[in-house]
Amino acid sequence: MALALVTRLRPPREAALGRRLGAGLIFLTGLLIFVVLVSLSTGPLDIPVSHVIAIIAEPLGVHLADYDRTEELVVEQIRMPRIVVGALVGMALGVAGTTMQALFRNPLADPGTIGVASGGAAAAVIAIATGASLWFFLALPLFALAGAIGTAFLVYAIAIASGRFSVATLILAGVAVSAFMGALISLVIVAVPERDTLRGILFWLAGGLDSRSWDHVWLSGPLILIGGGVIVAFARDLNLLMMGDDDAGSLGVNVRVMRPVLLTAASVITGVAVAVSGMIAFVGLIVPHMLRLVFGPDNRVLVPLSALGGAVFVVLADEIARTVIAPAEIRVGIVTSFIGAPFFLFLLLRHSRRVNSL
Amino acid sequence: MTDTVERAEQRLEARDIVFEIDATRLLDRVDLDARKGELVGLVGPNGAGKTTLLRAIGGLLKTRDGAVLLDGEEVRQMGTGERAKSIAHVAQLAPLAQGFTALEVVMMGRYPHMGRVQSERAVDREAVRDALEIAGAGDLADRTVDTLSGGERQGVFVARALAQEPRLLLLDEPTSNLDINHQARFFNIVQRLVRDGMTAVAAIHDLSLAARFCDRLVLLNGGVVIAEGTPAEVLTPENIETAFGVRAVVSSDPGSGALSLSVMDPGAPAIGVGAGTRVHVVCGGGTGARLMYRLSEAGFTVTAGPLGNGDTDRAAADSLGVEYVPVQAFGGLDDASHQEHLRLIKECDIAILSDVAFGTGNVRSLEALAEAPRTALATLDPFAGRDFTDGEATRLFERLSPVAAWSELEALVTGLPGVAHGQQENN
């Protein structure tokens, strides 16, 4: 519903860059605050929004209302880290998706295009199957991160091995390596004897934000913010890279430096997101497309807005995942696909010409 | 400004450019110079290396050897940002630009002039508006580029190049998507920019277009420069045959002096179906050039009637090696020339009358034509419209008994050799 609102609220494309960006930032920030507050207040324990706000304000030295200790614990130690991790993951996937679509000049590109997601997943699945994930509580995310970034570099190395870089080679290498990693995951699943381990693997593959702690925030936050910041800073070069290497080169982009930099930044933040949340599908594909329909294709607008849009999308999906069949939960990755796919198709049919053009 | 243009200072010097992919040498020690205020055309067959050379000059390729100097400064030593302010490159295939409006695309030409996080200044917006206007794309500003036609899109990308305010403009087949009207308009724009002090190098596959608009041409073939100079110096039949492997006829329009080229069918046999048959063409003023190519192509031995100097048909005859009766333009036909014409006509198997007009100067050609073993008409248009002799020509014309008109001539040219001889009357 909130997303449908986004498409209705359509600042004119002709508006100056700054005004478009400003309007988008204000709208999406407001939406994010709203979704976060609703998320913090809902769950097995109902906490009034006023109490939630008071709990957040209290450490800042502002006393707004009385609340009980349980409410404070639930908000600060259970719901808040989970929501912050969700928002960070959404930011990472939204920005990485926008970046990959621009770098590859391909509307089907998403953060997983060069094998980052499947590489991270394969490493995580192996860690779960071998019990390595139990060494210490961050072992699983660290394995996944190493797998994701390792895979990205492997794919890039394959693509430049011939001495001549081409986007098509990169995508094809990514497809091949992803298929290989997918086979590896299937092999592990088939080979694992214990039901509990298997369940752990499938859980992780569906992507989820349950029991995320502040440690996951500290693990993922800095890298996602730095990587995202790099991409925001070079968003203009991304515009030019969309025009092709020669155009980018003749308009002042050092293609041989900028492409690996942007690819690395996008891969790292995707890897971090996969590491702390598993495979949350579809965010990186549809968030950029949705925002592009409203705000146009300029990456200087699109990159910051897809960070916020991704955050809204994942936090909202997680809220639905937590509440729709409460007290049980669905996996957030399932929710993103369940809402995302039909909504994307709706947009696709409504705006098919404009989506086709990317 | 004009003074500096007249001084013709050197702007671009490309020396000894070598570029290889794997072991294939795409450019082999290529030199190219362009002065300030000059439009240099890069011509040559597909795969000659025109695009590669433009990319090498623009610093978009890592060349193996050679140097590119722009106003004495090595292009490869420039930073990418500095280079983007000096050299603009319009690629052969305009990118789809995926949802960007024309205005947004042209604004990208201003990026090199703006700080990294700086937003558009008034001066940038003005430069973009001017560039769109000059490129004739002013009314496209708010359209998304992917909804434009190929030609319109090309205009937008030219505008983007102009917004860069470069000293050197590199154009790769800039008019390949344009109709002839817009081709001429486009090159007029480039000529104006060049007169204002810009330098342009353009790869152009249409030789006539290149000859018409460029100050100098460089003919590339197989990555090597095979000719360089004015259009007339470069576009000789010999050079064209070397580069393109076709026989061509180069003629210059007596009015404008512009070169025009006609390329003969490369598949036509050098000695064809009509070998040995002599065909005489009475023509003039460009009415016979095409006829002579077709007949030569088919392998006939072609001769022609009196042709004045400066006549397009004479240039065509010269380059085809067609024997004709040379006369002074507008000088009339003296007795010696008339006898010479009669000799050619009597030797031929068939004489063809083009739709040339007749005045007192050339009316004797019709008299000679009556002596031909057989005659044919290249056109069925009424003769009266071409008679400027108060009926004298019409009277002579009516004495002819032509055996074929153009429709049959088509068969004559493409058909069996026998057609030109005996069986013609049976048709």
The full set of domains in chain B, from first to last, is 2-243 (3.40.50.300), 278-426 (3.40.50.720)
Give a yes or no: residue A26 inside a domain: no
Give a yes or no: residue A68 inside a domain: no
Give the least confident one: A64-78, B40-54, B183-197, B284-298: B284-298
Of the pLDDT bands very low, low, confident and very high (cuts 50, 70, 90), residue B85 is very high
Is residue B109 less than 8 Å (CB to CB) from chain A?
A: yes
pLDDT tens track for A139-168: 888 888 899 889 988 998 888 887 777 778
Give, as one character, the DSSP assignment of residue B264.
Answer: P
Q: Distance between CA atoms of A358 and A289, rounded to whole angstroms?
A: 9
In terms of C-beta density within 10 A (0-12 exposed, 13-18 middle, 19 or more buried), how is residue B134 classed?
A: middle
Average pLDDT of chain A? Answer: 86
Asked whether the bond before A81 is cis by omega within 30 degrees of 0, the reply is no
pLDDT tens track for A27-55: 999 999 999 999 999 988 889 999 999 99
Q: Select from B55, B98, B108 the Cβ nearest to the Cβ of A246.
A: B55
The residue ranking higher by pLDDT, B421 or B92, is B92
Residue B129: left (phi > 0), alpha (psi -120 to 50), or beta?
Answer: alpha
Is residue A253 less than 8 Å (CB to CB) from chain B?
A: yes
Q: Which amino acid is at B55?
A: R
Element (H, E) at B56: helix B50-57
Q: Which CATH number goes with the domain that contains A217?
A: 1.10.3470.10
Contact check, Cβ <8 Å, A14/B142:
yes
Give a yes or no: residue A245 inside a domain: yes
Residue A115 contacts residue A184 (beta carbons within 8 Å):
no
Nearest-by-CA chain A residue for B51: A246
pLDDT at residue A211 tops 90: no
Contact check, Cβ <8 Å, B80/A253:
yes
Is residue A243 less than 8 Å (CB to CB) from chain B?
A: yes
Contact check, Cβ <8 Å, B108/A239:
yes
Residue A38 contacts residue A51 (beta carbons within 8 Å):
no
Q: Select from A18, A164, A250 the Cβ nearest to the Cβ of B58.
A: A250
Give a yes or no: residue A344 inside a domain: yes
Quick one: pLDDT at residue B412? 55
Contact check, Cβ <8 Å, B83/A254:
no
Give a yes or no: residue A59 inside a domain: no
In terms of C-beta density within 10 A (0-12 exposed, 13-18 middle, 19 or more buried), how is residue A12 classed?
A: exposed
Residue A43 contacts residue A323 (beta carbons within 8 Å):
yes
Q: Distance between CA atoms of B127 and B160, rounded to whole angstroms?
A: 10
Give the least confident one: A73-77, B126-130, B159-163, B384-388: B384-388
Quick one: pLDDT at residue B221? 92
Instruction: Compute chain B's Rg from CA coordinates.
Output: 27
Give a yes or no: residue A52 inside a domain: no
Contact check, Cβ <8 Å, A251/B108:
yes
Mean pLDDT score, B38-56: 92
Give a yes or no: residue A56 inside a domain: no
The residue ranking higher by pLDDT, A261 or A108, is A261
Average pLDDT of chain B? Answer: 82
Of the pLDDT bands very low, low, confident and very high (cuts 50, 70, 90), residue B425 is very low
Contact check, Cβ <8 Å, B97/A243:
yes
pLDDT at residue B253 tops 60: yes
Of the pLDDT bands very low, low, confident and very high (cuts 50, 70, 90), residue A202 is confident
Quick one: pLDDT at residue A5? 45
User: A250, A289, A292: which to substitute to probe chain B, counting the most B Cβ within 10 Å?
Assistant: A250
pLDDT at residue A169 tops 90: no
Is residue B164 less than 8 Å (CB to CB) from chain A?
A: yes
Local structure of A124: helix, strand or coil:
helix
pLDDT at residue A352 tops 70: no
Is residue B121 less than 8 Å (CB to CB) from chain A?
A: no
Task: Catalogue the E-assigned strands of B101-183.
Answer: 168-172
Mean pLDDT score, B37-42: 94
Is residue A19 less than 8 Å (CB to CB) from chain B?
A: no
Phi and psi at residue B308, to the nearest 5°: -75, 160
pLDDT at residue A176 tops 70: yes
Quick one: pLDDT at residue B200? 95
Element (H, E) at B69: strand B65-70
pLDDT at residue A212 tops 90: no
* Stated length of chain A: 358
Mean pLDDT score, A256-272: 91
Q: Select from B98, B105, B111 the Cβ nearest to the Cβ of A358.
A: B98
Which chain A residues touch B75 with a CB distance below 8 Å? none
Closest Cα of chain B to A124: distance in Å?
Answer: 37
Q: Distance between CA atoms of B423 and B417, rounded to whole angstroms?
A: 10
Residues 6+ apart with CB under 8 A from B306: B284, B324, B325, B326, B327, B333, B337, B341, B362, B365
Is residue B98 less than 8 Å (CB to CB) from chain A?
A: yes
Give a yes or no: residue A216 inside a domain: yes
Q: What letters, b where the CB count within 10 A reaches 16 and e where it falls short, cover B315-339? A: bbbbbbebbbbebeeeeebeeebbe
**Listed ranges A131-135, B52-56, B149-153, B365-369; the one with the highest mean pLDDT:** B52-56
Local structure of B306: helix, strand or coil:
strand
Mean pLDDT score, A234-256: 90
Domain count, chain A: 1
Q: Distance between CA atoms of A64 and A58, rounded to whole angstroms?
A: 8
Residues spanned by the domain of A231: 2-8+87-356
Contact check, Cβ <8 Å, B117/A251:
no
Phi and psi at residue B284, to the nearest 5°: 155, 155
Closest Cα of chain A to B124: distance in Å?
Answer: 13
Which chain B residues touch A357 with a CB distance below 8 Å? 96, 98-99, 144, 146-147
Give, as one character, the DSSP assignment of residue B145.
Answer: G
Mean pLDDT score, B118-136: 86
Chain A (289-308) residues lying within 8 Å, Cβ to Cβ, of chain B: 292, 296-298
Is residue A256 less than 8 Å (CB to CB) from chain B?
A: no
ipTM attached to this prediction = 0.81
Alpha helices in chain A (DSSP H): 2-8, 17-41, 49-57, 69-73, 80-103, 116-130, 139-161, 167-191, 195-206, 214-233, 235-241, 245-250, 255-277, 283-295, 299-323, 332-350, 352-356
Q: Select from A14, A243, A292 the Cβ nearest to the Cβ of B99.
A: A292
pLDDT tens track for B264-283: 654 444 333 445 678 899 99
Task: Catalogue the E-assigned strands of B258-383.
Answer: 259-263, 278-282, 301-308, 323-327, 350-353, 375-377
